[in-house]
Amino acid sequence: MAEKRVLVVEDDVDICALVAIKLEAEGFTVVQAFDGNTGLVQAKNGRFDVIVLDIMMPGMSGLDVLTALRGAGNTTPVVILTAKVQEHDIEAGFAAGADDYVTKPFSPRELLARVNSVLARSGGAPALR
């Protein structure tokens, strides 16, 4: 089975690295982007099975990235990972086309479970260890 590819778009270097370490340990191939603009370009040009997306980033926000992706017909499952915890933020995330929503501070183990879950729902199998 082909390796599952995950794009992590997150401006916090620590969080980006932790997510990458966790996912790579579980057999995913991880590509990192540290701002929204780069993330959008990577998402459009690469083939990814899941995107982990922060909302508050310099330049283009995660919601703008998500809206642009969905507007372009990109249906890659997106898990939002953000410090925005208000109900209306969560609602806006799902309205923009997110498949799941994880708030910071986050549990890397829970994030992995959610990535596997959206992957399973989208028809792909979880990554092999």
Partner 1 sequence: MDQILTTEFVWAAVIVMVIIVALVILLTIGIRVARAVNEARERRLAAPITPLVYAVAMADEAGLPSAIAAVEALNRSDRHRAEAIALRVIRSVQGESRVALTQLLRAEGISARARKMSQARSWVTRARGTEILGLIGGGRTVDQISPLTSDAVAEVRLVAVRALGHCEDESAVPILVTMLRKPDSVSATITSTALLSHAHQAHDQVLPLLYDDDPRVRRNAALLSGYLIAAGTVAALEKALAIERDDSVRIALTRSLTLVQSRTSVAVLAALCDVGESLAMRRSAATAIATFPPQWTVEQRAILIKDHDREVRRAVEIVAAPERSIL
Binding residues (CB under 8 A) for partner 1: these are 12, 14-15, 17-18, 21-22, 25, 104-110
Which of residues 10 and 99 has its CB atom nearest to partner 1 in the complex?
A: 10
| Structure tokens that stand for 68 in this block | 């642009």
CA 91 to CA 48: how far, in whole Å? 24
Which of residues 22 and 70 has its CB atom nearest to partner 1 in the complex?
A: 22
**Smallest gap from residue 70 Cβ to partner 1 (A):** 24
**Smallest gap from residue 120 Cβ to partner 1 (A):** 21
- Strand 29-33's sheet: what is its strand order? 29-33, 5-9, 50-53, 78-82, 100-103
Neighbours of 121 (CB within 10 A): 11
Which of residues 40 and 53 has its CB atom nearest to partner 1 in the complex?
A: 53
